Structure 1
Amino acid sequence: MKQIIRALSFSTRKAATRMNIDYAFLFMKASGNQLRQITALVESGAILPVVDKIFPFDQTNEALAYVESGRAKGKVVIKVR
């Protein structure tokens, strides 16, 4: 499986290298411990998620349609509060 992902991400890894950016694909299992570790990395600034758009909760259907359209270039966030 890792070789397949590596092959599929070749152009992404090549672009990241050209831009002097570290890129890694991670296989994750739903785990409270892993989520705590990821939270710590995000809060410390070690991981910088790319946010494409933020939608208010009442526009959840529009947010889902945007994701399904394939145009999102980062995370699509639904703001609850």
Structure 2
Amino acid sequence: MQTASTNICERMDRSQELSEFKPGTMIGCHLCNKSIHEISLLLNIPRSTISDIITKWKQLGTTATQPQGEREKNMLKRTVTNCLQNQ
């Protein structure tokens, strides 16, 4: 049994970014029909983070961080779409 100090996958701080390996592992688990809760327990990552990564992968086809300009464009598109749907 591992103790908290020897656990390889310790809880992330809010300011930490994921390594390149972890999002791929999350997507692999998702493709193997693991639930978000199961993936969270396995990788010791918050469920909200896993949900965000899977959603991003479904929408964009990638888990890579986008350049800032692309994020702003996507946020603008999302805002306009939400406004149009609410009318």
From the two aligned structures, give the one with the greater strand fraction. 1
TM bucket, shorter chain: under 0.3
Structure 1 or 2: larger helix share? 2
TM-score (norm 1): 0.27
What's the TM-score once normalised by structure 2's chain length?
Answer: 0.25
